[in-house]
Chain A
């Protein structure tokens, strides 16, 4: 009962206080630039205020706000995604330069056994900061594909349409992204 009451009297001017940090963290983890993240949060809050009457009491306030912010973030990606398609051969060449595999296609350096069970690191802030830092190091087109597919959870079809690339091209990018993320997390966190 108490909670329902609180939601009913939810004051939009209080949204910034109560959800500002969560919204900002969400935006920053996707766009990586503080000024941009701030703008997106502001946009999202303003549009939430304009549409306050569509807010369903039953849904969680924060979930609703994050949903609006998510659209802002995706709009931002849409407006700024690179127009030129990277040729697949170009991507393959770049992967070669990562030096993860030798010329015969074997691991240049074998993946190690990870020292922590990933389930045990979820509560550690430093782990997530490392994860975030690794993601930021991904080359732009690769990082975009990774965010859209893995962090935003687009289906393959949606992701291809959104990025305007073929399924094969998407799969090349995700392969590179996963290899790079694996390598980076291993080096900076999981190496025994």
Chain B
């Protein structure tokens, strides 16, 4: 998104926790722009909650990655009934 200089400077000076979490989230989808990185860095320096949020967003991503790769304990299994239903369908073919 194109922003004016005024908007960029205002972002740097007034970034809220809400906005900072959006930037941290966005950083997983795209490279942040310079003014966004500066705003984030300044905000993080004085906000413990956001520093935790940033760490936890990273951890969430790792958790999702593990889930994606199926590196989890076996969570669910087919019930006997389901298994029999599927078996029957396969035999029909």
Q: Chain A interface (Cβ within 8 Å of chain B)?
A: 13, 16, 20-22, 24-26, 28-29, 34, 38, 41-42, 45-46, 49-50, 66, 100-101, 104-107, 110-114, 118, 122-125, 128-129, 131-132, 149-153, 156, 167-168, 170-171, 174-175, 178-179, 181-182, 185-186
Contacts and interface: CB of A to CB of B under 8 A. Distances in A.
B64 A132 contact: no
B34 interface: no
A11 B53 CA distance: 49
6 contacts: A22-B70, A22-B74, A106-B17, A125-B75, A149-B29, A153-B68
Contact of A21 (B28, B67, B78): B78
Interface of B: 1, 16-19, 21-22, 25-26, 28-30, 48-50, 52-53, 56-57, 59-64, 66-68, 70-78, 82-83, 85-87, 89-90, 93
A29 B82 contact: no
A14 to B, nearest CB: 11
A49 B93 CA distance: 9
Given A24-B77, A105-B17, 14 more contacts: A22-B70, A25-B76, A28-B76, A38-B85, A41-B78, A42-B85, A45-B86, A111-B53, A128-B72, A128-B75, A151-B68, A171-B22, A171-B29, A174-B29
